[in-house]
Amino acid sequence: MSTLYIAGRWRTAASGETREITCPADGAVAVTVDEGGAADARDAVRAAREAFDVGPWPRTPAPERAALLSRIADRLERELDEVARLESLDTGKRHVEARIDMEDIVAVFRHFASLAQAEAGRVVDAGVPDVSSRVVTEPVGVCSLITPWNFPLLQTAWKVAPALAAGNTFVLKPSELTPQTSIWLVRALAEEGLPDGVANLVLGPGDTVGAAMTNAPEVDLVSFTGGLATGKTIMAAASTTVKKIALELGGKNPNVIFADADRDAAIDNALTAIFLDSGQVCSAGSRLVVEESIHDEVVDELVRRATAIRMGGPFDESAETGPLISDGHRAKVEAYVAAGIEEGAVLRCGGERPGGELAIGSYYPPTILDGCTSDMSCVQDESFGPVLTVETFAGDTRDAAEDAAIAIANDTIYGLTGAVWTQDAGRAERMARRLRHGTVWINDFHPYVPAAEWGGMKQSGIGRELGTAGLHEYQETKHIWHNTRPAPAGWFANPQD
C-alpha cells in the first residue's frame, strides 16, 4: 500500500525507503509505511501551491467547504472504533482513551464546519461618500502542518479542519512514529471529494521532510505542534521568507491546591492531571503546588493512589494507563528523574521500570518527586512522562498565600495551562487572572471545548488553535476600497491645465 499522497495520487517515497511502525506496548510491527524525504516534501509543496493558485478549493463557496468537513465528522463517527484502534496501535494508548480522542475530533470538524459559514467579512464606514469599503477574509495559502505523536489525529484535526474551512491547501507531516490515522484522514478527504492537490501527505523524519516543508519559499504558513527546541528551529527557518507561523509547544503546568480546596476532588484530579496518557500530554499538571499545611495529607494520598495505578496494553481492559511512546523517550524520562534526585528531590513512588509481562513494552510507572524547589531542572523542564514534582507554598495572610502560590506557578518559561483548587470563589477568580497560562481551570483539570481557544503564553507558543482565533490563524484579512464615482485626485498640478 502506497502511503504518501501528493497531487491526488498515492505513491511510494522517491527513495523507495520504508519504515516499520511498532506498537510501544509490545514492540510488535503494526504497519510498514513509506518513508518520505525532502524530495517528496518539495513535490507535495508544489502540488499544494498549484492547487491553491489555480485550483477550485480557495474559491469554493463556504457552505460546500463546510459540507465536506461535516462529511468527515460523519465518517469518523461511523468508523470511530477502527480509527481509534489504529491510534492505539501507533501510540500504545488505551483504546478507550483513543475513542475519546476520536469523539473530540468529530466535535472539532463540526465546530469548524459551522464557523466556515459564519464569517463572511464586514462592511466598514469609509467616511466619504460614494465609496464602498469592506473587510474580507481569504485563505492564507499553502500551509505546512507538522504534528506530534501524543494525540496524532487530534492535533492534526486542530490544523486540517480550520485550514480547509478557510480554503487553504496543505502538506501534512505527522510524527514519523504515528502515521496511521493521518493516512486514514487524507484517504477520507480524497474519497469525500476534496480536489486533487489540496491535501498532501508526506510521512518521514522532521529534519528532512519537516525541514523541507518549513524552508520551501512556496509555503505561506507553518503550523507546528511539538517540542520547544523544534519550535525554535521552525521559527528561525520560517523567518527567511517571513512565513506566518503558529506554534503549539510544551508546557510545565502548575496545579495549585489551597488548604480550603475540596480535598477528595483535588487529589483525584491531581492524579488525572499528570498520569492520564502516562503524562505525555502537553497540558499535563506536572507541577503540584500545594499549601504547606496540607502537604503531608495530600502527597501521602497521591503516593498511595499512584502506586495502585495499573499499567497495560491498549486492549487490556483492566489497564488504567499505557506505555510511553518509545524506549528512547523512556530513557529521557529516566534521565529527567535521575537529575531531579541528584538535585535533592525525594522519590516517593515509581522511578523504576516494571518487570514481568510489562518488561516487553516501553512502560514507566507513575512517579512522584517530593521536596522540589523552583530552581531544580525537574521543576523547570518538561518530562513529557508520568512524573509529578511537588512544591509547597505558605503565607501568613490570605494575600500572602496567594502571592506565594502565584510566584511559584508563574516561575516557568512556559505558559500553557494551570489550575487552582479552592472553595473561595474570590480567590479562584483572582488566581485565574494572575496565572500566566493560556488555559486556566478552576476546580478541574484537562477539559477543553472546540469553541474555546487553546494555546500558550510565553514559550508555550505563538497563536491559538480552536475557538474563532483557530480559524483566523488560517485567514488573511483584506480591505477592499471601491470608489463608485472615480475622479482625479487633484493632488499634483497637471501642467497642461
The footprint of ligand NAD (CB under 6 A) covers 146-150, 155, 173, 175-176, 205-207, 210-211, 214, 225-227, 230, 233-234, 248-251, 282, 382, 384, 416, 456, 461
- Smaller CB distance to ligand NAD: residue 55 or 456? 456
Helix axis angle, 80-91 relative to 152-165, nearest 10°? 120
How, if at all, do strands 287-291 and 254-257 pair? parallel
- Smaller CB distance to ligand NAD: residue 34 or 176? 176
- Smaller CB distance to ligand NAD: residue 245 or 294? 245
What is the C-alpha separation between 177 and 421, in angstroms, rounded?
Answer: 36
- Smaller CB distance to ligand NAD: residue 108 or 249? 249
CB of 415 to ligand NAD, least distance (A): 10
CB of 212 to ligand NAD, least distance (A): 9
CB of 142 to ligand NAD, least distance (A): 16
- Smaller CB distance to ligand NAD: residue 353 or 458? 458
Active-site hit among 35, 97, 176, 248: 248
CB of 17 to ligand NAD, least distance (A): 15
Q: Is 143 a catalytic residue?
A: no
Residue type present at position 446: H
Active-site hit among 282, 349, 372, 378: 282
- Smaller CB distance to ligand NAD: residue 148 or 418? 148
Q: Is 64 a catalytic residue?
A: no
* Largest interatomic CA distance in the chain: 98
Among 373, 368, 374, 408, which Cα is nearest to 286's? 368
CB of 401 to ligand NAD, least distance (A): 30
- Smaller CB distance to ligand NAD: residue 234 or 420? 234
CB of 487 to ligand NAD, least distance (A): 52
CB of 227 to ligand NAD, least distance (A): 3
Active site residues: 248, 282
